Structure 1
Amino acid sequence: MQRLFASRTQWAVGNGFFHSGIIDTDESQSVYVYDCGSINRPANRAALTREIGEFGKQLDLRDAGVDIMFISHFDEDHVSGIPELTQRVRVTKFVLPMIPGPDRLLLYSRSLLDRTPGRPIGSFYGSFITDPDAALRALGATGVFFIPPTQPQGGDEGDAGEPLHEERKPIRDIDSDQGNTTAHVDLEISTKLATISRDGDVVWEWRYAQSQQSTSVMKDFAGELVKAGAIAREVDLHDSREIARLVQTRPADLADAYRLAIRKVGRSFTRNLSSLMLYSGPPVAGWCSTLTRRSTACPPFEDVFVSGDRPGFLGLGDANLRSKARRAHVNAVFKERKKRVGTFAPAHHGSHLDWNVSLLDGLGGGSGYRPTLVFSASGAYDHPHLKVLLEANEAGATTKVVGVEEPSRLTESFAIFYQP
């Protein structure tokens, strides 16, 4: 039986996202982050800086860095804090969705319309849109891994995916019966999940998935850029050099092209179909018992625990879930893992457009279990929507809004007893 200590925190940044976790496997620990950014408002940016600082202090005490960072999608409010984070702590590996350059440029163009007058987009964001691999490696990353879309039907539970990275770290294991022995902790990354193993037993996993991408507005967006003389042909948007040129020299044309294209498509336009969704928790195979404590502070593991909560986390980024088929895809891909999930971050900060109560199906194993729904939101853009909060509470769930003030921070500490 493996005993794990784990702590995860939804940091107080308001509309944006910054989620972190620390998993202790005896004398070894692994640290992960899921998104790091905020909307471009002074209070939100200040909150993000404060929370990055607090996260850095925690890692200083552990003499640790971030082993793996997951990026859900390319909206600025989910990635704007990455440069500041990497200045404060070491981040070695990134996992992010494989999204074509034209689609990234579309999101960048949308962000140009959301700017506060006189506040330009940071240089990192433009570089990140142009070439994510180069931008992240410039910040010190030693590995950048791109995850392709999964098929809409899901149903690939037994497939670990194509291997992308594997590393082994020896640790000194003190056993009172056998004396000192050497154990190994392995981190493996594939196209469908990442895992932590201790002496061959998988003790923690991150399962990720994104839906097939279909951006209906792209042809109109490219056509408007051709009309404006910003590009010669639609195919130019697949050239990273052209994307860089447009970002650096034609922001007004990008903003106009986006606005005109959206007007043509109308209400049927959708964004973020390829947001990377993430499960974090013990593997589904095996026996698991959990003691947990929730707090707005950052409690040590020695604090009093309360039994009964499920240790898994499921975050949907800004996934567009406005169709029944896409919601069914989420439920199919994470069906088995939802049994372990006690903390759920619904899509798009609690937007009612990407919400349906069916997303609660199977959380915590069902049978009347009451999950906690957490929303990183401060009221901007009507997030979280009252309809979402009401329906979640009517279904018996607990809702927690993590805004910009420090007391709204949510920290969970776990003692997990796991038998692979």
Structure 2
Amino acid sequence: MMPGIYTWDVKYDFHAVGQGLFSTGLLACEHVEFRWVYDCGTVSAQHLLTTQIDYYHRQLPRPPEALPFIDLLVISHFDKDHISGVVELLQHCNVRNIVLPYMPLWQRLVIAFEERSGPRSPLTQFLLDPVGFLRNASRGTIERIILVMPVNARPDEPNPEQEPLLPDAPPDAELDEISSALVFDELPEHELQGDEELTSMISGNITHAAGIPQVVAVRSGSALSIHKIWEFVPYNDASMVRFKNSKFEKAVRIHTNNLKTSTKRQIKEAALADLKKTYTNTFGNSSRHCNVISLFLYSGPVFGAIATVFMPEDEKYYSDLNPKYHLLDRVSILYTGDGYLNSLKSIDDLMTVLGAYRCNQLAVFQVMHHGARGNWKAGIADTLMPDYSIFSSDPEATRTGHPHAEVLRDFWNYHPIQVDKNYSAHFIARGWYIFPPVAGKRRIFKRI
């Protein structure tokens, strides 16, 4: 077939919400636009987030007499500083796809107890039934909820020379055949066996009744692609979960029916109170496990895309080394939420799942947990070598002190940018995609 050339533009935005994270993106390819949101929360003043949600909402194209659409909403984990604005966002928009890290009920309840969330609080209701809560919280429609399964075992070692499988070349078709629909492989049915809750969540929505979102599951590292031009790759690392306890799991199973199906509030609250006692006896009062699972998200062009310019604008730079713009062949981004990359194993596992090619394409890296030292390992910046590193935090908050100085020093040569209560960060890129794909430049990553 004759080669075809598709032009595209992409924009990444990190919004000024203080100690939290609210990031949005836009891909425009010919006549198609695809919009995504990664996290929407803050523990700083909530009005900061409300202002940014309102600003974002005004930028969305609005169909006549309908709410505007977001194509993809990713919730990395369930801390307030990452989800406090999700309900507000759902009041403004229809959502085609919501992506969540999959956690069993017992693990979600651990989060509720550690957050000291009461039985009637929105967080507790969300953790008891994420699918039902999101459906009821939305003023518009949610078409699909995608659950990303955890990586429970170390994958095979990566091959630095191996590139992702090239997409099939599209047919000799007109440009209007490009679609913004996400294409991905669902988890096979046989892999759902043994997890009654997950099976129930998926089979319970199999009819796709009006107003009921479809629920599907995917593997970590399974690409969600847009016309095989752009891809999103979620990664749910469960290796940090070291608090699994059969006694607490058994107690949750006993109360599951009352927690999820009872219409009597007193019965639910009694079940939660009993489980809280079991939790305290099992784990004590000082455990903190909320951030051990945080969904990473890689986003970038499928192999073969070429960037002509990558430009940041209106940032608060930490380092004087920052150029105003880059002429790059790299435009991909990696969101980490509050995830952990604090050991050789956690770093290698992430790079193995993403693959060498993707890890070498990072133009923007959102630094884990606002730049906290506990989520970081010295040398990770030299391993990933991003062109820009984002610290979304409130440096004036004395309680947290994020970003920590040693983490900031590690990323000093990788154009660190502060996103806080006053400063946002915006990146734009332009490029094209050639079918069949052509080989791009290689950049071999270093290991710590």
TM-score (norm 2): 0.71
Q: Counterpart in 2 of 1:81?
A: 85
For the residues of structure 1 that align with 2:100 and 2:337, how far apart are their CA atoms?
12
Q: Counterpart in 2 of 1:413?
A: 428
Is the contact made by 1:246 and 1:254 (CA closer than 8 Å) also made in structure 2? Answer: no
Which of 235, 254, 265 in structure 2 is aligned with 1:236? Answer: 254
| Alpha-carbon displacement from aligned partner over 1:340-373 (angstroms, at most 9, x marks no partner) | 211101222211011124433553xx5xxx6211
Which of 1, 9, 19 in structure 2 is aligned with 1:15? Answer: 19
Identity %: 25
Is the contact made by 2:78 and 2:290 (CA closer than 8 Å) also made in structure 1? Answer: no
The equivalences for 1:143-162 within 5 A come to: 143-155=144-156
Q: Counterpart in 1 of 2:313?
A: 295
Q: Counterpart in 2 of 1:226?
A: none
Is the contact made by 1:152 and 1:326 (CA closer than 8 Å) also made in structure 2? Answer: no
For the residues of structure 2 that align with 1:209 and 1:7, how far apart are their CA atoms?
22
Q: Counterpart in 2 of 1:187?
A: 182
Report the alpha carbon displacement of residue 322 of structure 1 after superposing the two structures with TM: 3.6
Cα separation, partners in 2 of 1:85 and 1:29, compared to 1, 3 Å: same
Cα separation, partners in 2 of 1:270 and 1:80, compared to 1, 3 Å: closer
Matched, 1:351 2:372: yes
Is the contact made by 2:392 and 2:420 (CA closer than 8 Å) also made in structure 1? Answer: yes
For the residues of structure 2 that align with 1:384 and 1:247, how far apart are their CA atoms?
44
Is the contact made by 2:18 and 2:392 (CA closer than 8 Å) also made in structure 1? Answer: yes
| Alpha-carbon displacement from aligned partner over 1:365-394 (angstroms, at most 9, x marks no partner) | x5xxx621112211452222111001211x
The equivalences for 1:1-400 within 5 A come to: 1-39=5-43, 41=44, 43=45, 45-60=46-61, 64-112=68-116, 123-138=121-136, 139=138, 140-155=141-156, 173=175, 182-185=176-179, 186-190=181-185, 191=218, 192-197=222-227, 202-213=228-239, 215-219=241-245, 222=248, 233-236=251-254, 238-239=256-257, 241=259, 249=269, 262-263=283-284, 270-283=289-302, 285-296=303-314, 306-308=326-328, 310-334=330-354, 335-361=356-382, 363=384, 371-378=387-394, 379=397, 380-393=399-412, 396-400=413-417
For the residues of structure 1 that align with 2:402 and 2:224, how far apart are their CA atoms?
31
State the one-letter code of the partner of 1:103: Q
Report the alpha carbon displacement of residue 320 of structure 1 after superposing the two structures with TM: 3.0
For the residues of structure 2 that align with 1:222 and 1:151, how far apart are their CA atoms?
20
Is the contact made by 1:290 and 1:416 (CA closer than 8 Å) also made in structure 2? Answer: yes
Is the contact made by 2:41 and 2:86 (CA closer than 8 Å) also made in structure 1? Answer: yes
Report the alpha carbon displacement of residue 222 of structure 1 after superposing the two structures with TM: 3.3
For the residues of structure 2 that align with 1:9 and 1:246, how far apart are their CA atoms?
44
For the residues of structure 1 that align with 2:346 and 2:106, how far apart are their CA atoms?
22
- In structure 2, runs of 5+ residues without a counterpart are 166-172, 186-217, 316-323, 438-448
Cα separation, partners in 2 of 1:158 and 1:132, compared to 1, 3 Å: farther
For the residues of structure 1 that align with 2:73 and 2:363, how far apart are their CA atoms?
21
Is the contact made by 2:39 and 2:83 (CA closer than 8 Å) also made in structure 1? Answer: yes
For the residues of structure 1 that align with 2:332 and 2:426, how far apart are their CA atoms?
14
Report the alpha carbon displacement of residue 418 of structure 1 after superposing the two structures with TM: 2.6
State the one-letter code of the partner of 1:149: P
Partner SS, residue 415 of structure 1: strand
For the residues of structure 1 that align with 2:115 and 2:404, how far apart are their CA atoms?
22
Is the contact made by 2:105 and 2:252 (CA closer than 8 Å) also made in structure 1? Answer: no
- In structure 1, runs of 5+ residues without a counterpart are 114-119, 161-170, 174-181, 224-231, 298-303
Q: Counterpart in 2 of 1:164?
A: none
Equivalent pairs, count: 363
Report the alpha carbon displacement of residue 21 of structure 1 after superposing the two structures with TM: 0.5
Partner SS, residue 336 of structure 1: helix
Cα separation, partners in 2 of 1:240 and 1:204, compared to 1, 3 Å: farther
Higher strand share: 1
Higher helix share: 1
Cα separation, partners in 2 of 1:22 and 1:259, compared to 1, 3 Å: same
Q: Counterpart in 2 of 1:167?
A: none
TM-score (norm 1): 0.76
Q: Cα RMSD (Å) of the superposition?
A: 3.4
Is the contact made by 2:307 and 2:329 (CA closer than 8 Å) also made in structure 1? Answer: no
